[in-house]
Structure 1
Amino acid sequence: MDASASHFDLVVIGSGPGGQKAAIGAAKLGKRVAVVERRDMIGGVCLNTGTIPSKTLREAVLYLTGLTLRDVYGSSYRLKERITVQDLLARLQHVIGREMEVVRNQLARNRVETVVGSARFAGPHEVDILDADGDRVRRLTAEKVVVAVGTRPARPVHIAFDGDRVVDSDGILDMQEVPRTMVVVGAGVIGIEYASIFAALGTRVTVVEARDKILDFCDAEVVEALKFQLRDLSVTFRLGETVESVTADATGTVTTLASGKRIPADTVMYSAGRQGATDGLGLEAAGLAADARGRLVVDKQFRTGVEHVYAVGDVIGFPALAATSQEQGRLAAYHAFGEPVSSVLELQPIGIYTIPEISYCGDTEDELTRAGVPYEVGVARYRELARGQIVGDTYGMLKLLVSTDTRKILGVHVFGTGATELIHIGQAVMTCGGTVDHLVDTVFNYPTLSEAYKVAALDATNKMRDVARFGF
């Protein structure tokens, strides 16, 4: 080791959700910690180009379009007639600026040193800090290292991205105007989120997906409800189709599919997966290797093939969620320094911020059917709830999957207003091993959307009672 280097108990590469929590977790244990991040990327991809920007845009669009109130005030209701990019970016820049200060303050308050620059391994315990020109300005040594560099959008080599007409999910934030028409290639979480956001703005969106289904890991009934709502916003789906080429000029783009279809549009956004941002880390110097998609493989304690090097967040693959990354970072720090820890990571909620939003926890009906697990379904429709009428959401729903043997909650699926907030009630009951009877016997505030849990629980128990009455 270089004796002149700065030595730390832990060096964290990347300041996104996973890196933040790993650094703070170790600092709480009394360790000397440094976080390495580029000057313009404090908070990582999550804060600068990913989770926070897309969710902020979604909220701005919902507010400015008045979309959620059209059931009350009529389909022509809009808060602002002509919504510009400047309207959207004003809120985006405000939120990012505030959140960046929160991240800096949290790291400073916990005496975590923020080292500005790019990181590259110089050895198993050595990390060089490079400036914008790629020159080494400092060397850090560490007993332990956490890699939390996240991912970047994957770019197919046959597509000419120009940052204007043909963009990826990062480039969409640099748009100069709201497009009249758009093609979204890829119907994963990011693609469908942006498709719904722009559709709500009035953009005619065409979604192209090579698979026959969208969001095939979600509840099938919920996905069908989402597709219905998106079609109502003039979204067209081209499923089972692949893109052969995209041509662009100053006037627009033409996307040619393998089937021969040609789709003209102002803008094309590619959302064809993510690539681990590990190519500049010098992994071989630390004895590490990434897979073909730039990701690192870890064990249950988030250790890589090198015992003192850990990895967390999107760079280790599924589920690639900010909330999960935070917990992975905390757990990795505790494992690294021998701190006893427990977690219920296997019962993580999944949140998809489409318009309307989706969230679920636990199993889907398809998974339970394939596993041969007997279950009953309880459903509550928002239109049955007073709060649903008040907020103007008549399409939302909450679904409970209940074991007919143990009466435990096996899965919760929510679609509609507040889905990503409501899911935590079901998650808490499942984490504690609660049964459907717990929800039946609980008094919920009125009028609230949370009442949906009681309505769905009563629906499930009434169905089970009917089955029992006939002796099945």
Structure 2
Amino acid sequence: MKYDIIVIGSGPGGYIAAVRASQLGKKVAIIEKYATLGGTCLNVGCIPSKALLDSSHHYYDAIHHFEEHGISVEKPTFDFGKMVERKAKVVETTTGGIKYLMDKNNIDVYEGLGSFEDATHVKITKNDGSSEVIEGVNIIIATGSKPSTLPFISIDKERIITSTEALKLKEVPKHLIVIGGGVIGLELGSVYKRLGADVTVVEYAPKITPTMDADVSKELQKVLKKQGIKFAVSHGVSAVERNGDEVVVKATNKKGVEVEFTGDYCLVAVGRKAYTAGLGLEKVGVEVNERGQIAVNNHLQTNVSNIYAIGDVVKGAMLAHKAEEEGVVVAEYLAGEKPHINYNLIPGIVYTWPEVAAVGKTEDELKEAGVAYKAGKFSMRALGRSRASGDIDGFVKVLADKNTDEVLGVHMVGARVADLIMEAAVAMEYRASAEDLARICHGHPTYSEAVKEAAKAAWDGKPLNA
């Protein structure tokens, strides 16, 4: 069978690329080695983690916040099995939706491992050992990533686990040790802390969420510490050992002193790495960089002209929404259109509670680049909406060019900021000034008023409610 475009991998980048290409009149096939579509994000990443975050958040609220709202209930209990069952149903519904989209857009789906025979032919090896070869004028690699580990850690998938196993545990840990204070570690650590586990986060860098704005990291750590999560920053892990049902993590702190953490589970959340195993890139000469990522140009085209790569398998933030945008860009480019993607305006989000969201430059990045800037900050505590809901932690910070007032970065900690950040992204896409944001009438009472106030603080230093 011959296609205009073959997509290898059905995660957010792959399936969106396939849909957009089909919408633009291309004959498309998609290859997925697993039985369900959707890749890491839908099956063992974004979607199941958010399902557990929401379930555990409801339970935590019932225990800690219902009473202050005048709601009296008997001491709540939870059925962890039902939480996991609900998570599985959410995943099943979502992945089923991808299958529907494939059918609706007349995209042929092949189940099996896709590997290059040559630049235009892909061999599909099925689970039963049989295989077939299909031909594509252009091929898009969207095979995503896998959890990383440290060289001396042996992941046994039972007690020493990755995010994949953490999403399908049979029990709530007594003490979960999380190696890595990034997004994945903090989100899953939050889930199990809310459900009663002791949680200790061990982070090599001097702050959690190391790539985010320093104010954000400081505020998030303060709030999560208040919720009971323990932190050991500036700790370099040197060994992880399992003895029966016990796991010991050894680390060296910034003073050079070795310390030990003992728990019953250890989640290794030190990032992810591009996944290209089995693709046969060497057969066609597709180049990869020193980090194992596929090298691409500004059009996401590899050194082999008809082969493209998107998402976690190429450089950049490993985010589902980044992969989706790249999928659209490649599909439209192959259809003769002139799409663009602004990598500076891809939001980063942490789905703890309060949530964290950011877009654009951090203060440290502006300082390093020598950009003259001004900052405006507004506390969520000062909002009527926050007081009404009881979600008073956090702030919004707007960074703007000191000379032109153009918004250069927005950083948020607070309720629903995962959704709120898009106000900033839209403003920055159109190169709005802090004054522009400050002069837009925002509904009252809403969390979004914090954006208006922080923008006014950046523009003229005079927020109205602080």
- Paired residues of 1:63 and 1:79 also in contact (CA < 8 A): no
8 Å Cα contact 1:379/1:398 also seen in 2: yes
State the partner residue of 2:277: 279
Partner of 1:456: 454
- Secondary structure (helix, strand or coil) at the match of 1:35 reads strand
* Aligned mates of 1:396, 1:71 — CA distance in 2: 21
Partner of 1:253: 247
Asked if structure 1 preserves the Cα contact closer than 8 Å seen for 2:4 and 2:28, the reply is: yes
Indicate how the Cα distance of structure 1 residues 155 and 221 shifts in structure 2: closer, same or farther if over 3 A, else same: closer
Displacement of 1:79 after TM fit? 8.7
- What amino acid does structure 2 have at the position aligned with 1:48? N
1: distance between equivalents of 2:94 and 2:150? 32
User: Match for residue 469 of structure 1?
Assistant: none
CA distance in 2, matches of 1:157, 1:437: 50
Aligned position for 1:313: 311
Say whether 1:303 aligns with 2:301.
yes
Quote the offset at 1:103 in angstroms: 0.7
Matches within 5 A, 1:111-190: 111-133=106-128, 135-190=129-184
TM-superposition CA deviations, 1:57-113 (whole Å, max 9, x none): 111111122179639728x99997333421321221121111112111112111111
Are the structure 2 counterparts of residues 340 and 260 from structure 1 closer, same or farther at C-alpha, using a change threshold of 3 Å? closer
The Cα shift of 1:181 comes to: 0.7
Q: Please tell me whether the aligned partners of residues 380 and 399 of structure 1 are also in contact (alpha carbons under 8 angstroms).
A: yes
1:43 equivalent in structure 2: 38
1:226-264 superposed Cα distances (whole Å, 9 cap, x missing partner): 010111122222222222322224432222224432211
Measured against aligned partners, the alpha-carbon deviations of 1:131-171 in whole angstroms (never above 9, x if no partner) come to: 125x3421111000000000111233432322221111111
SS at the partner of 1:205? strand
1:85 alignment partner AA: F
Contact map agreement 2:59 2:194 (CA 8 A) in 1: no
1:28 is matched with which residue? 23
Match of 2:366 in 1: 368
The one-letter code sitting in structure 2 at the alignment partner of 1:61 is: S
**1:468 equivalent in structure 2:** none
Structure-2 residue corresponding to 1:212: 206
| TM-score, length basis structure 2 | 0.93
Could you tell which deviates more after superposition, 39-48 or 59-68?
59-68
Contact 2:36-2:95 at 8 Å conserved across structures: no
Q: Partners of 1:291 and 1:332 in 2: how far apart?
A: 20
- Determine helix, strand or coil for the equivalent of 1:47: helix
Flag as ranges the 4+ runs of structure 1 deviating above 4 A. Answer: 76-80
Change (3 A) 1:440 1:243: closer
- Alignment match, 1:3: none
CA contact (8 A) 1:69 1:392 kept: no
Q: Percent identity?
A: 32
The letter for the 2-side match of 1:276 is A
| Structure 1 residues 45-444: aligned runs within 5 Å | 45-66=40-61, 70=65, 73=68, 81-133=76-128, 135-258=129-252, 259-444=257-442
- Structure 1 residues 318-352: Cα deviation after superposition (integer angstroms, max 9, x where no partner): 21111111000010112233223234343221112
Displacement of 1:364 in angstroms is 1.2
How many angstroms apart in 1 are the aligned matches of 2:192 and 2:458? Answer: 37
Kept in 2, the 8 Å contact 1:64–1:78? The answer is: no
Identify unmatched segments of 5+ residues in structure 2. none
Give the secondary-structure state (helix, strand or coil) at the position aligned to 1:317: coil
User: Does the 8 Å CA contact 1:14/1:147 hold for their aligned counterparts?
Assistant: yes
**Residue identity matched to 1:34:** A
Q: Distance in 2 between matches of 1:255 and 1:417?
A: 34
Q: TM-score, normalised by structure 1?
A: 0.92
Q: Is the 8 A contact 2:344 2:359 kept in 1?
A: no
SS in 2 for 1:54: helix
Question: Given that residues 5 and 28 in structure 2 are in contact (C-alpha distance below 8 angstroms), is that contact kept between their aligned partners in structure 1?
Answer: yes
Q: Could you tell me how far 1:376 is from its partner in structure 2?
A: 2.1
Secondary structure at the counterpart of residue 296 of structure 1: coil
Contact kept in structure 2, 1:84 and 1:178, CA below 8 Å: no
- Note the C-alpha offset of 1:464: 7.7
1:230 aligned partner, one-letter code: L
How big is the alpha-carbon RMSD for the aligned residues of Structure 1 and Structure 2?
2.3
CA distance in 1, matches of 2:66, 2:361: 32
> How many residues align structurally?
459
After TM superposition, give the deviation of residue 437 of structure 1 in Å. 2.0
Deviation at 1:18, TM superposition (A): 0.5
CA distance, structure 2, for counterparts of residue 211 and residue 77 of structure 1: 43
Corresponding residue for residue 470 of structure 1: none
State how far apart, in whole Å, the 2-side matches of 1:389 and 1:43 are.
39
Structure 1: runs of 5+ lacking an equivalent: 1-5, 466-472
Structure 1 residues 80 and 358, CA, compared in 2 at 3 Å: closer, same or farther?
farther
Deviation of 1:213 (Å): 2.5
Distance in 2, Cα, partners of 1:370 & 1:295: 27
CA distance in 2, matches of 1:140, 1:338: 24
SS in 1 for 2:177: strand
Q: Secondary structure at the match of 2:5?
A: strand
Deviation at 1:187, TM superposition (A): 1.8
- Residue 144 of structure 1 aligns with an amino acid whose one-letter code is N
Change (3 A) 1:342 1:242: closer
